[in-house]
Structure 1
Amino acid sequence: MLVSYRPPIGTNDSPNLQSTEKLTVKSTNSTIFSFTVSRNSDGEKLWDTSLGGLLFADQYIQISTLLSTNQIFGFGENVHKTLMHDLSKYRTWGMFSRDAGPDSVGDITHNYYGVHPFYMGLNPNGKTYGVFILNSNAQEVTLGPAPHLTYRTIGGQLEFFFFPGPTPSEVIAQYQQVIGKPFLPPYWALGFQICRWGYTGVAEIKSVVDRTKAAGIPQDVQFSDIDYMNRYQDFTYNKGSPAWSGLPAFIDNLHKNYGMHFTLIFDPAVEADYDSFKRGISANASFIEWPRMDLVPTGIEDSYPYVKGTKIMLGKVWPSNNAAFPDFLDPQDETQQWWESELKGFVKEVGFDGAWIDMNEPSNFDTQPNNGTKQLKYNVGDLTCPIVGSDSYYDKAPYETVGVFNWGDNTYLFTDTLCMFASTMRNTSVFYNTKNLYGWSEARATMKGMNLARGNRSVVISRSTFASSGQFGGHWLGDNTARWADLQTSIIGAQEFNLFGIPYVGSDICGFNGPTNEELCLRWHQMGAFHSFSRNHNSINQPAQDPAQWPSVAAAARKALLFRYRYLPYLYSLHFLASINGGTVVRPIFFEFPLDPITPTLSHQFLWGSALMIIPVTAAGVTSIQGYLPPDATWYSVYDSYYGTNATTGSTTMYAPTTSLIPLFVRGGYILPRQAPAQTTVFARKNRFEILIAFDPKTLSAAGELYWDDGDSLFTDISSHNYHHFNFNATVSSKSTIIRITKDKSASGISLPALENIEIFGHPWIPALKNATLNGSPVSIDMSQTTYFPFTHVANITTTGLINLNNGQSWILQWPNTLK
């Protein structure tokens, strides 16, 4: 009999939800149990099980509900072809972490690396709600007509969290009160990053860095895949090889002379016969184990002295010998402490800055029985799991969900991973319950270890995730393929992971698997420049695809990334806000315009926060695209076509040649902080500050804010963190323009560059800048660097040392306006 299991992710079960909406739960008194969850204000039923279908049995739980809206978003990790689910037909989506590259071409519902049983519903009246089901067992959800939803799981319990909203942003903030708010990436982690699997050594990596720099393309982070390791062993580099022996010196040179950072990959499985594993045994670290000694395959385990006589379950991954899998859910924390110690020692030895954790579903090669296809040529023993007899209770469950069925014959819950009946959490649970938490638990241990090792904020990128993983790092969307379909679905995936509470997310730019092509790579760089995690990455034995490979791609990447770097203060402020209050960074359009019936259908365009619209090119051979600008707002072009002018709203054709930025628009009523860009963020942070003011023509006002710290200091509570916070407000009239800057929180020891550039859109009167004042005193504006265009209503004011943000707490810059 399966014991009910609750994932130990540290949920806040009594959140202080600040909402104007209240919910009421009612259950029936009839012989057939059902219940409803309704919104008090309008009676909308967010959950209504009167549809029937509640089943509660050993290894099978099912519940169904009618849905009050057809507009449903979320559930994952799957490849969705549209942001909004299509409820006109039945589709069943699996949620069971699996090492499988996403298929964006086929009409399939495969489960991939992570598990996120969360969805959002948007009603036609604009009110939104969210539902989170706290369960870490293999599960699936069927969506279909009526509309309705049926949720199934083969373990754990049914534990629901309902979030009343009523706005989309409030739903996400409420959800993150329960699961935890996202981590704040170090500033450098928002820079452009390059990687590939198959680097031959330090010299090749240096050539990539140097040609990227020579092309004028900003780059902050260089990666290395598993190639750097000694025999693919964690916490080693191939110091015996002339090609890799200079890795620490190279990383040190990147820090000192390039202003760059370096990230290394780690897999969770550690070879069972080398120093790190031996130190783990000595430290009493816990590993995934066989449930009983009589099940241990001694023919394999006895080959390794430190494993012999234990119940440690050995598999095989990249190392050339069998490997053990650390149990990061160790309730005694000794596994986490050993992992932290290994990271600390390796950071000291090599000097790297970030950790990329892969294969953490966890993946295991050649788990038996399988379809006979060998994944590795190594002549080491395969892990075999039971599919008959009493020991097969977990590994051959009566109902295995579409997480198994979708992958074809000879597929089991344990396929490409470990046996479900394995013992975890110091023999207090089984892998059947905890598998979907493996990536989450490794990310938690790795983030803590990296922060302690470096003494400042690090970054962790994890392939496998679970609800609340955003506290401990980001996510890349996995081993995609160099196809236009994958570019399209990556736009949706990044929006979905913002819903899931993981805003530091992106895809492998240009595609990981298969050879890319020049046009696809160009367009992917243009789009990928607007994902928080922006990295070019490809597979072994494929042609190089870093952006300097083609002049056209280099030009497009340079242009897109220089725009990104200019607006990094705005992007960083969005991440800061999400860390303080909860929320999204890359945002679906319907978040800001929930009453517009078009916005829920928009899958391939998105926002940075509330203010910057991004409309990528997602097809080959086009020089214009169809985009949508919600008519309830004013939008100003900030790309090459009609820069600074008020754009036509609604659905419209937009100019988008390969030599231009993709269509980008700033929303009227907002002020965006900017900074002059540079080759890396280390140098850019020293450049002048700028602000872009986009006036709302109805209110003739605009507002914005800036969060600014030293970029990588550690903190345990962001409320006590050392940072500056500025509020910007501006108004314009026929008489005058007034810009108010207020510093409502000051940091100690963090100096700021001067604000030296102010660009203004929607300024219909001619500014008399020779009569400008700052805090009531005359200020000299450098008219040789200042322009105003009366036909476009764009003003651009540049003056060295205009506003010293280190002196004072508030500033008022104003000038009179004239009609001529």
Structure 2
Amino acid sequence: MFRALCLWVLFVVANGFKSEEFRNCDKASFCRRNRFRPEGNSTIVLRSGVVNGGVYVGTVEDTVDNGVALELWVIAYEGGIFRVRLKERNPLRVRFEPPDALVSDLDLQRVSIEAVPSQANPDVTYLHTNDGSGAVLIVQHTPVQIDLAVNNAYLMSVNNRGLLNFEHYREKRDGDEEGMWQETFRSFTDSKPYGPASVAFDLTFLGSEHVYGLPEHATGSSLKETRHSVAEGGGAISEPYRLFNLDVFEYLSESPFGLYGSIPLMISHSAERTVAAFWLNAAEMFVDVTKVRGDFSSQTIAQRPRVVTHWISETGILDLFLFVGPRPKDVVRQYTGVTGRTPLPPMFAIAYHQSRWNYRDEEDVYEVDNMFDTHAIPYDVLWLDIEHTDGKRYFTWDKSLFPSPIVMQNRMASKGRHMVTIVDPHIKRDPGFVLHEEATAKGYYVKDSSGRDYDGWCWPGSSSYVDTLHPEFRSWWADKFSLANYVGSTPILHIWNDMNEPSVFNGPEISLPRDALHHGGFEHREVHNAYGMYFHMASYEGLLRRGGYKERAFVLSRAFFAGSQRVGAVWTGDNAAQWDHLAKSIPMVLTLGLSGLAFSGADVGGFFGNPDAELLLRWYQLGAFYPFFRAHAHLDTKRREPWLFGEPWTSDIRDAVRRRYMLLPYYYTLFKETSKTGVPVMRPLWLEYPSDAAVFALDSQFLVGKDLLVRPVLEAGAKQQSVYFPGNDVWYDVLTCEGYLGGRVADIVVSLSSVPVFQRGGSIIPRKDRARRSSTQMEKDPYTLVVALNLVGEAEGTLYVDDGKSFDFDYGAYIRRRFTFANNRLESVNDSPIGRSAMEYATDCLVERVVILGLAKDQYRAVLEMSAQHGRVRRDVDAVYGPPMLLKGAQNRALVLRLPNVPVSSDWSITIGKSSVV
């Protein structure tokens, strides 16, 4: 049986994605019932409503379905956030809600609502807040319709097409449609013992042509239509976007099919305003998108452009958050204020990771590690997949292949490196396996529909699946990561959660049956999309607990849901060594960032298949700018470590990886910003240039922070790349120093060694340019400041520094410097908030190099001034023209100030002028 299963898995992997293995809307009865429901057919009406404790509470009735009573809550939060909740008042069965997706202190952000009846129409109530946002909800009673307006401008409308539908748990009766009480897909039967329970609604974004979000799909960032508007012919034109976490082999590009994670967030953007909606629901979901063209200048709502969406979920409640913006970054802050933000990762985690399935044994690990040093390619983390375990039992080691795991990890630690091992949610059903025996005895497994521990198949063979919904399980699981319980682990070992969609090889759609049972009696259909998040949470808690909550942890997850960003990184799953997957990784990572998951990336080189040297190089050149930078490959692929293709490929890959290490101070500063604001590290251009319509659907280039513009090479044999420069200032090629004015397109010549990267005029970026083995060994290295002048000769930037590993920054142990350049004077000043905690962070790091872009070639003199222990210091600094970067292709077109050697933590200034004047 196990051999047959393994052959089946290998067959599926070898043959890639097969659409018939997975459901679409037509094969899901709840989607069919709702997708083609006639418009204007909503029967849900508001009977009464009052404000109670600052919250609007309404009594709602479904007038057709036996007069079932529902309750409506409208809650408001600081900064322009409304929450609309609709659920049954007295349900036959309690529906699952995933509150752990939200931040724990959300209630502290509430603001009071005032309900004002309309003087002109008794069927309308206005809900106001006093938070200064100018937002108001207009609630129509019959049928229920909720519009969001700001300063009399209508932005969103819920149920204006009359598609709100709330199926209620009921006793089985004659006349129920096929699929309501039992449904078969392929050879699997879903028992549906509680009957139909779908929830659906329409949501219109007014004054917009572009919507983003709904990760995870391998599509462009600006979501495409799935249905035409009635005016343009009507009818379905493709599958709706599906949100259902699945283990998908070699997924297809430009497909609305759901992948490994699900976040029901949609952002609407126009040059005038950005708004968003988030549905807190963990069940399977389909979303239709229709774009209605119009005239932006029209004052009539019906004549303005709009995006009409239809949301359909198998079960759950309606729990809808509306975010009023008004700018893109405001929406991101508002959403991550509700679901949480990415904590500041340890420094090593944002460096380069080397992985494959699998490094064979300890000798293989040592050989790979040594070859990185031989070829002077830095890396920080080496990964071990499932083959390192004893018979695929997690938290164990194969003693014949890895007899001395602690010695191995200590050897890695001696070079400042770390390791990661894999831990998945399927547990081998082995009577002698302690983990399995404990989970069985404590009742910590998901049950089948008859109440027995579910027995499915995954890598170990016969497996049971931990019930991540069980709060006692999560604490028990966290304890398994202690050094005492995880025998052979050390503090430098971190964790990878894979297969946590969850993946079940012999289950329906390679997952758990929908009628499987979780803690609290909830069916798997209700919790499916949150399952992986709960597993991720438990593993992250385990590493924090292991370190006494003093050390930061790194846990990577494949499956995710809203809120996953609070506990670690994610990646885009099992991609392929194809040029289209290289290109699609950009909008996928950008969309994850907009949806809160700022720490994300794609497998460099492609997980499946064998990239040729050019594709691998181009993927390294792109991957060096992902927030999460990891190379990974399938067990059956050819080895592809960076040196195996020989020259010139090895040197060019080395340069790509070194570029990431040079930029680590900039990335670390950006991650600190992300932890405070939620604004992602890797950004679509419209996030920074919201009024420039030319960038609204641009996926071939992106920003790192606001100061680096990257245009990767995405086609084989490319000799030049077309680059659009946003804004109205200048952008400098970081290698050639050539400047390009914003608002224009330029064709940039590229070679295999080069990828177009530009620094924004008006910015100052900190770097560390010395080549080291790992980021840990760079800790005391000096800094380079790259000053890119704008058209008026000014620039500014920030540097954040702490110990890179602990939580001491929470107590004030960090340095934050602000650099400014104006009137030919570069200054460094303290940018830490006044009154921060007393703990200090000290560093001996110096600024050893300043590169200035935008000064004409001439003879310059630079004079440094700073305070010292015995008075004021004033001295000359060597100023010469030289290369801006210590990489291949850099040209001598920048003014370089050599060896100012000023402490990075001190106040100082450098004045620059013509040598004949200063």
Q: What is the TM-score with the length of structure 1 in the denominator? A: 0.85
Choose which of 42, 51, 63 in structure 1 pairs with 2:161.
51
Residue matched to 1:760: 852
Change (3 A) 1:771 1:233: closer
1:431-470 equivalence runs, <5 A: 431-455=524-548, 456-470=551-565
**Does residue 189 in structure 1 map to residue 330 in structure 2?**
no
Aligned 8 A contact 1:176 1:582 in 2: yes
**Does residue 288 in structure 1 map to residue 442 in structure 2?**
no
Residue matched to 2:11: none
Instruction: State how far apart, in whole Å, the 2-side matches of 1:282 and 1:49 are.
Output: 47
* Deviation, structure 1 residue 199: 2.7
* Deviation, structure 1 residue 200: 2.1
* Deviation, structure 1 residue 729: 1.6
Choose which of 245, 252, 257 in structure 2 pairs with 1:97.
245
Change (3 A) 1:206 1:255: same
Residue matched to 2:381: 221
* Deviation, structure 1 residue 318: 1.2
Of the structure 1 ranges 473-482 and 141-150, higher mean CA displacement relative to structure 2 is found in 141-150
Residue matched to 1:803: 902
* Deviation, structure 1 residue 149: 0.4
Of the structure 1 ranges 552-561 and 178-187, higher mean CA displacement relative to structure 2 is found in 552-561
* Deviation, structure 1 residue 725: 1.4
Residue matched to 1:579: 675
* Deviation, structure 1 residue 136: 0.6
Choose which of 678, 684, 696 in structure 1 pairs with 2:778.
684
Instruction: State how far apart, in whole Å, the 1-side matches of 2:153 and 2:841 are.
Output: 53
**Does residue 737 in structure 1 map to residue 825 in structure 2?**
yes
Instruction: Provide the secondary structure at the position in 2 that maps to 1:418.
Output: coil
Residue matched to 2:96: 5
1:343-422 equivalence runs, <5 A: 343-345=482-484, 349-351=488-490, 352-367=492-507, 414-422=508-516
* Deviation, structure 1 residue 19: 8.6
Counterpart residue type for residue 274 of structure 2: T
Counterpart residue type for residue 757 of structure 1: R
1:766-777 equivalence runs, <5 A: 768-769=860-861, 771-775=863-867, 777=872
Change (3 A) 1:630 1:512: same
Instruction: Provide the secondary structure at the position in 1 that maps to 2:506.
Output: coil
Structure 2 gap segments, 5+ residues each: 1-91, 112-129, 169-196, 229-236, 293-306, 885-890
Residue matched to 2:198: 60
1:19-418 equivalence runs, <5 A: 21-29=133-141, 31-40=142-151, 43-58=153-168, 59-68=197-206, 69-86=208-225, 89=228, 90-91=237-238, 92-105=240-253, 107-125=254-272, 127-146=273-292, 147-239=307-399, 241=400, 243-256=401-414, 258-273=415-430, 274-278=432-436, 280-281=438-439, 284=442, 286-291=444-449, 295=450, 311-320=452-461, 322-331=462-471, 333-345=472-484, 349-351=488-490, 352-367=492-507, 414-418=508-512
Counterpart residue type for residue 693 of structure 1: V
* Deviation, structure 1 residue 83: 3.9
Aligned 8 A contact 2:447 2:453 in 1: yes
Instruction: Provide the secondary structure at the position in 2 that maps to 1:442.
Output: helix
Can you list the C-alpha shifts for 1:110-164, whole angstroms capped at 9, x where unaligned?
A: 1111110001111132x21121111111111000132310000111111111111
Aligned 8 A contact 1:525 1:556 in 2: no
Choose which of 624, 646, 654 in structure 1 pairs with 2:748.
654
Change (3 A) 1:742 1:766: farther
Instruction: State how far apart, in whole Å, the 1-side matches of 2:652 and 2:463 are.
Output: 44
**Does residue 728 in structure 1 map to residue 869 in structure 2?**
no
* Deviation, structure 1 residue 783: 2.3
**Does residue 523 in structure 1 map to residue 618 in structure 2?**
yes
Instruction: State how far apart, in whole Å, the 1-side matches of 2:496 and 2:310 are.
Output: 35
Counterpart residue type for residue 718 of structure 2: V
Instruction: State how far apart, in whole Å, the 2-side matches of 1:335 and 1:432 are.
Output: 20
Instruction: Provide the secondary structure at the position in 2 that maps to 1:636.
Output: strand
Aligned 8 A contact 2:395 2:487 in 1: no
* Deviation, structure 1 residue 182: 0.8
Instruction: Provide the secondary structure at the position in 2 that maps to 1:643.
Output: coil
Instruction: Provide the secondary structure at the position in 2 that maps to 1:479.
Output: coil
Aligned 8 A contact 1:765 1:819 in 2: no
Aligned 8 A contact 2:862 2:897 in 1: no
Instruction: State how far apart, in whole Å, the 1-side matches of 2:225 and 2:457 are.
Output: 40
Aligned 8 A contact 2:801 2:814 in 1: yes
* Deviation, structure 1 residue 421: 2.1
1:598-617 equivalence runs, <5 A: 598-617=694-713
Instruction: Provide the secondary structure at the position in 2 that maps to 1:62.
Output: strand
Choose which of 561, 566, 573 in structure 2 pairs with 1:478.
573
Counterpart residue type for residue 595 of structure 1: S
Instruction: Provide the secondary structure at the position in 2 that maps to 1:604.
Output: coil
Can you list the C-alpha shifts for 1:682-706, whole angstroms capped at 9, x where unaligned?
A: 11222101211112213x3221111
Counterpart residue type for residue 535 of structure 2: E
Structure 1 gap segments, 5+ residues each: 297-310, 368-413
Counterpart residue type for residue 154 of structure 2: E
Aligned 8 A contact 1:772 1:816 in 2: no
* Deviation, structure 1 residue 342: 4.2
Counterpart residue type for residue 266 of structure 2: Y
- Could you say which structure has the greater relative contact order, defined with CA pairs below 8 angstroms and 6 or more residues apart? 1
* Deviation, structure 1 residue 82: 4.6
* Deviation, structure 1 residue 679: 2.2
**Does residue 694 in structure 1 map to residue 854 in structure 2?**
no
Residue matched to 1:590: 686
Instruction: State how far apart, in whole Å, the 2-side matches of 1:770 and 1:760 are.
Output: 12
Instruction: State how far apart, in whole Å, the 1-side matches of 2:759 and 2:93 are.
Output: 54
Instruction: Provide the secondary structure at the position in 1 that maps to 2:607.
Output: coil
Counterpart residue type for residue 629 of structure 1: F
Residue matched to 2:304: none
Change (3 A) 1:86 1:592: farther
Can you list the C-alpha shifts for 1:719-759, whole angstroms capped at 9, x where unaligned?
A: 43522211212213xxx424232252685254241112111
Aligned 8 A contact 1:172 1:582 in 2: yes
Aligned 8 A contact 1:212 1:218 in 2: yes
Counterpart residue type for residue 72 of structure 1: V
Counterpart residue type for residue 799 of structure 1: L
Residue matched to 2:595: 500
Percent identity over paired residues: 24
Residue matched to 2:61: none
Change (3 A) 1:348 1:471: same
Change (3 A) 1:728 1:772: closer
Can you list the C-alpha shifts for 1:483-518, whole angstroms capped at 9, x where unaligned?
A: 001001111111011011111111111111112111
* Deviation, structure 1 residue 270: 1.2
Instruction: Provide the secondary structure at the position in 2 that maps to 1:627.
Output: strand
Instruction: State how far apart, in whole Å, the 1-side matches of 2:785 and 2:862 are.
Output: 20
Instruction: Provide the secondary structure at the position in 1 that maps to 2:531.
Output: helix
Instruction: State how far apart, in whole Å, the 1-side matches of 2:842 and 2:806 are.
Output: 11
Of the structure 1 ranges 138-147 and 502-511, higher mean CA displacement relative to structure 2 is found in 138-147
Instruction: State how far apart, in whole Å, the 1-side matches of 2:882 and 2:773 are.
Output: 27
CA RMSD, Structure 1 to Structure 2 (Å)? 2.6
* Deviation, structure 1 residue 468: 0.8
* Deviation, structure 1 residue 205: 2.4
* Deviation, structure 1 residue 422: 2.2
Instruction: Provide the secondary structure at the position in 2 that maps to 1:203.
Output: helix
Aligned 8 A contact 2:446 2:516 in 1: yes
Instruction: Provide the secondary structure at the position in 1 that maps to 2:137.
Output: strand
